[in-house]
């Protein structure tokens, strides 16, 4: 499973990229707004920081303007993936950009039927939002299971399942079990994945025993 970081915070991204665990980044208008900076500049800096795909989202809702915005975003760097909403105009834009060789991330997916349409439109990624479905009393991970099952039935589909709206490590593990290709994680969720009380307890015991020997590996 690939890990993308869902953030536009350059400080956070530099810190996490240094771990070697980050395969890409996703952004959206809300994350860009939170940064308080110019969108194009932020996307360019992220693209220079991360080798993998960086999703940058259009803000228009009509096809013609979405396509123009998508082309402008794609021109920022070779690793930009243009993100479009799962609407009729968004899917039309997806098809046009994909035909031009631009990878497209279709976002705000909440049903298997929508995921089928995104694959038909040539999406490089489909972003089902598991946390938001959980919030309304629906099983978000069932959506991931359904999409993965459908895509596996058609080997010609190249669309990768990018699990979004991830709230905790349990979402990540469940998605990995189902065979999802990517999970896009808020920085805190990736950090939570390191944590286990028995790891901390075991390390403390090892270090205490080592200290008693009076040795140093570095001499």
Residues catalogued as catalytic: 83
> Pairing mode, if any, of strands 54-57 and 104-109?
unpaired
Strands (DSSP E) contained in the chain are 2-6, 24-26, 54-57, 80-85, 104-109, 125-128, 160-163, 182-185
Backbone angles phi, psi at 115, to 5 degrees: -65, -35
Q: Angle 63-74/88-99 helices, nearest 10 degrees?
A: 40
**Cβ-Cβ contacts under 8 Å for 114 (sequence gap 6 or more):** 86
**d(Cα 109, Cα 91) in Å, to the nearest integer?**
12
């Amino acid at each position: 499973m690939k890990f993308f970081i869902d953030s536009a915070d350059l400080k956070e991204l530099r810190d996490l990229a240094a771990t070697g665990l980050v395969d890409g980044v996703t952004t959206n208008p809300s994350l860009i707004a939170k940064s308080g900076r110019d969108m194009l500049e932020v996307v360019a800096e992220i693209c220079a920081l991360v080798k993998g795909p960086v999703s940058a989202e259009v803000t228009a809702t009509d096809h013609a303007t979405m396509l123009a915005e998508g082309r402008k975003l794609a021109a920022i760097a070779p690793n930009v993936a243009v993100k479009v909403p799962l609407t009729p105009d968004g899917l039309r834009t997806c098809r046009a950009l994909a035909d031009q060789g631009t990878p497209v991330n279709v976002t705000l997916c909440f049903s298997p039927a929508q995921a089928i349409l995104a694959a038909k439109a040539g999406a490089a990624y489909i972003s089902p939002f598991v946390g938001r479905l959980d919030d309304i009393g629906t099983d978000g991970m069932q959506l991931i299971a359904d999409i993965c099952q459908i895509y596996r039935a058609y080997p010609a589909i190249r669309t990768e399942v990018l699990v979004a709206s991830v709230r905790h490590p349990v979402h990540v593990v469940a998605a990995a079990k189902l065979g999802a290709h990517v999970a896009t994680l808020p920085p805190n969720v990736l950090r939570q994945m390191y944590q286990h009380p028995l790891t901390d307890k075991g390390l403390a015991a090892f270090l205490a025993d080592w200290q008693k020997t009076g040795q140093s590996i570095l001499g």
